[in-house]
Amino acid sequence: MLPLELSSQNFSTYPKQARELAEKHLETLQRLPLGFAPLLLKELIVYDFRFPMERRDLNRQLRYLESLNAEQFQAALAPFVQLRLSRELEKAEWVSQPAVFTEQLTAHLWTTQQIDAFRTGAVAYMDKATTAFPDEPLPTHRVGLVAIGQGVRENNYRLFRKLRPQGTYFPNVKPGAGVAALLEAVAKRAAKYPEPYAHWYIDGGAPLNLGAGVAKVSWAGLTPARAALQGRMQKIYEAPVWDPEAFRTKLAQIQPDEIGMKDGSDAALNRFQLSLLTEGSGTQVFSTTFVQWAAREALRRAQPLTMFTRFAPRQKDKQMNELLAEGQKQKAEFDPQGSLVDADMGAWYTWLNQQRLPGAEKSNFLAWFEDHSEAVAVGPAFPKDATSAAPITLAELAGTLL
């Protein structure tokens, strides 16, 4: 089937808002090349479960395409028209299963050495769409807060070696209220800038109390879903034939109710949590990996103004079969010191991902060794590769970022 043959009936199985959007822009979808249309439908089919920033980006693409005259339209999509597709891809059910098509397309582009041209064309296309319809100014600067090393009493590992050159190291922080001070900072920002999914709290253990207006994701809160998913994964690992690509595809197709999750009142957040477990690598068994991936995805997809990420001890590294089995029995051995090293690197990656967002030059970031005196702050007001030995409370330090 070619995009030109699309009709409203092809979208009858799409969720309500996605179906309405497809029908509204049907003529535009019909004009797209086969090497591009499924990629757009991959985002459109989950429109009902997407965050506001993701919906904005999809709507921007549609506005951009519809603003072009025939010549401009052809030029913008030329890199995708020129793709050489296999017969299997041309016959694929790309309308009903655009995510599966996208995986198959990616593999095809790699094997046929077209991936570089595709990426170049995709980047140029998105740059033009963003330039044509730029983002509105942020209401305030972004703030990232990270707590690492929960449960570690003594440490000889040199922390924040990646972040220190980017900001100011504080070796004499008085924890005071500790994590509660960071939660209070998030609550203040959420109250002052009450936008949906603009403020996040991600915890690698059991979450602490926090008021409304903050999206909350926790490792402990997903225990039943993780156990159900690990059971499925273990059966697949133990099967006589192991196909990694088919395994990934099966995970991506899992629905919330299949592992005991209900969409409930916040379908976007629940689907987000499901994606963390089914699309991430190691997020099902390692809490540090889960937190790092959750932070990355929240920044990429929701582009929050505020995010507090708290790492907790993960279980010790073992063979995958052992980890999956222990995850179901809830008898894991924990590794606080190893988790500290993981989380230190996780804090670095979280800062990098925050820097990829609009307004990065004004954003602030704080990483703190939980219940200890070490922290590092990065932002316009903090000199790079500097040390401030003056005593300061964690609440005061966090307050300078707000």
Q: pLDDT tens-digit profile of 179-234?
A: 999 999 999 999 999 999 999 999 999 988 888 899 999 999 999 998 888 887 77
| C-alpha–C-alpha distance, residues 228 and 225, integer Å | 5
- Calculate the alpha carbon distances from 341 to 156, 172, 262, 335, 338 in Å: 11, 21, 35, 10, 5
CA end-to-end span of the chain: 53
Positions in the chain whose pLDDT score sits under 70: 237, 239, 242-246, 263-264, 317-332
CB within 8 A of 364, min separation 6: which ones?
141, 142, 143, 144, 377, 378, 379, 380, 381, 401
Whose structure tokens read 């506005």? 63
**Which pLDDT score, from 0 to 100, does residue 7 have?**
96
Q: What are phi and psi of 267, to 5 degrees?
A: -65, -40
Whose structure tokens read 């959007």? 21
**Which pLDDT score, from 0 to 100, does residue 240 have?**
72
Helices (H), 172-286: 179-192, 223-237, 244-252, 267-279
**Which pLDDT score, from 0 to 100, does residue 213 have?**
93
Q: How many residues does the chain have?
A: 402
Cα-trace Rg, the chain: 23
Query: Parallel, antiparallel, or unpaired: how do β-strands 168-170 and 375-378 relate?
Result: antiparallel
CB 95 within 8 A of CB 1: yes
By C-alpha distance, which of 182, 216, 184, 177 is closest to 199? 216
Taking phi over 0 as left and psi of -120 to 50 as alpha, with beta for the rest, 362 belongs to alpha
The upper half-sphere exposure of residue 111, i.e. CA atoms within 13 Å in the direction of its Cβ, equals 8
Model pLDDT for residues 108-134, shown as the tens digit of each residue: 999 999 999 999 999 999 999 999 999
Record the tokens describing residue 287, joined without a space.
């809490």
| C-alpha–C-alpha distance, residues 136 and 365, integer Å | 22
Helices 115-132, 98-111: inter-axial angle, 10-degree rounding = 130
C-alpha triplet 48, 49, 50: angle, nearest 5°:
100
The DSSP element (H or E) to which 387 belongs, if any, is: strand 386-387
- Calculate the alpha carbon distances from 378 to 170, 294, 346, 375 in Å: 11, 21, 15, 10
Write down the pTM of the prediction. 0.90
CB within 8 A of 7, min separation 6: which ones?
26
Taking phi over 0 as left and psi of -120 to 50 as alpha, with beta for the rest, 207 belongs to beta
**Which pLDDT score, from 0 to 100, does residue 324 have?**
54
| C-alpha–C-alpha distance, residues 106 and 108, integer Å | 5
CB 203 within 8 A of CB 186: no
Largest CA distance in the chain: 69
